[in-house]
């Protein structure tokens, strides 16, 4: 059965990805900061060994390498989903602060560290897909409202990382997807989102399924509709 490793699996989109993939028969390594307190995640356990909870903190640079010491199986889908958005970097005049660096660390540096730690295990799998949870707010050409300095910058940088990964991992037949989940009603997206987490995740999983042995999809920035988004 296929195996996925998902970061930020204890809430929001990560939790829903875990739920839907378990329903499809996958084995999931669900990584989050505090598995002991992840009650919603633990409630998904089907009791057959297909859900394994692991500790992972995207704020800690060495966390990905430490996780790789505990997870040795091939990984069909490596999903760098953990992310953050902070109020302190939203507005001009007060955005240049240490929280900006935290967003860069979690949203950009951590996914790169995760891929560097697990690329060999992805290459050893059958599916060979890496998904990066980006955002349309990382599109420079689509920015017509300003603000959100830390979040926009970190996601734009993540897009650049994803494009480079698609080139550097091409010879290993790994497909790298850069995904926009839509505006979703989650803790991060807020109550006014245009779709639910199940709707967003179902669409993302359809894209991921299409990426199997499709190198032409690698290094592209996808809306959940399947259309390419502008950089």
For residues 37-58, average pLDDT: 97
Q: What angle do CA 71, 73, 76 make, to 5 degrees?
A: 110
Within-domain flag for 231: no
Within-domain flag for 17: yes
Task: Write b or e for each residue in 125-153: b if 16 or more Cβ atoms lie within 10 A of its Cβ, otherwise e.
Answer: bebbbbbbbbbbbbbeeeeeeeebbbbbb
Q: How far is Cα 94 from Cα 113, in angstroms, rounded to an integer?
A: 29
Give the three-state DSSP class for 51.
strand
For residues 109-133, average pLDDT: 98
Average model confidence (pLDDT) across the chain: 95
The pLDDT value recorded for residue 166 is 98
Within-domain flag for 229: no
Within-domain flag for 25: yes
Give the three-state DSSP class for 140.
coil
Whole-structure pTM value:
0.95
Within-domain flag for 230: no
Q: Torsions phi, psi of 222, nearest 5?
A: -105, 135
Within-domain flag for 227: no
Within-domain flag for 57: yes
The pLDDT value recorded for residue 182 is 82
The count of other CB atoms within 10 Å of the CB of residue 225 is 10
Within-domain flag for 106: yes
For residues 109-123, average pLDDT: 98
Q: Which of 129, 160, 154, 145 is nearest to 231 (CA)?
A: 160
Residue 96 predicted with pLDDT over 80: yes
Domain that holds residue 25: 3-222
Total domain count for the chain? 1
pLDDT digits (tens, 9 = 90+) for 176-221: 999 999 877 665 555 665 678 899 999 999 999 999 999 999 999 9
Residue 170 predicted with pLDDT over 70: yes
Question: In this structure, what CATH number is given to the domain that contains residue 103?
Answer: 3.40.50.720
Residue 226 predicted with pLDDT over 60: yes
pLDDT digits (tens, 9 = 90+) for 81-93: 999 999 999 999 9
């Amino acid at each position: 059965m296929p195996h996925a490793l998902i970061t930020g699996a204890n809430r929001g989109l990560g939790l829903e990805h875990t739920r839907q993939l378990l329903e499809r028969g996958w084995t999931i390594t669900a990584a989050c900061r505090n598995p002991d307190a992840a009650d919603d995640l633990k409630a998904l356990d089907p009791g057959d060994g297909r859900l394994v909870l692991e500790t992972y903190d995207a704020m800690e640079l060495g966390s990905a390498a430490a996780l790789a010491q505990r997870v040795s199986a091939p990984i069909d889908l490596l999903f760098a989903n953990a992310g953050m958005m902070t109020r302190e970097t939203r507005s001009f005049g007060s955005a240049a602060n240490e929280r900006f660096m935290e967003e860069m660390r979690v949203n950009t540096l951590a996914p790169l560290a995760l891929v560097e730690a697990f690329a060999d295990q992805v290459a050893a799998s059958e599916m060979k897909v890496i998904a990066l949870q980006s955002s349309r707010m990382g599109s420079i050409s689509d920015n017509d409202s300003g603000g959100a300095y830390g979040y926009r910058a970190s996601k734009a940088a993540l897009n650049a990382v994803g494009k480079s990964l698609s080139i550097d991992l091409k010879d290993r037949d790994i497909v790298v997807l850069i995904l926009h989940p839509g505006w979703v009603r989650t803790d991060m997206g807020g109550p006014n989102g245009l779709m639910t987490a199940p709707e967003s995740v179902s669409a993302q999983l359809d894209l991921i399924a299409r990426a199997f042995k499709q190198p032409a999809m690698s290094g592209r920035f996808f809306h959940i509709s399947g259309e390419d988004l502008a950089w």
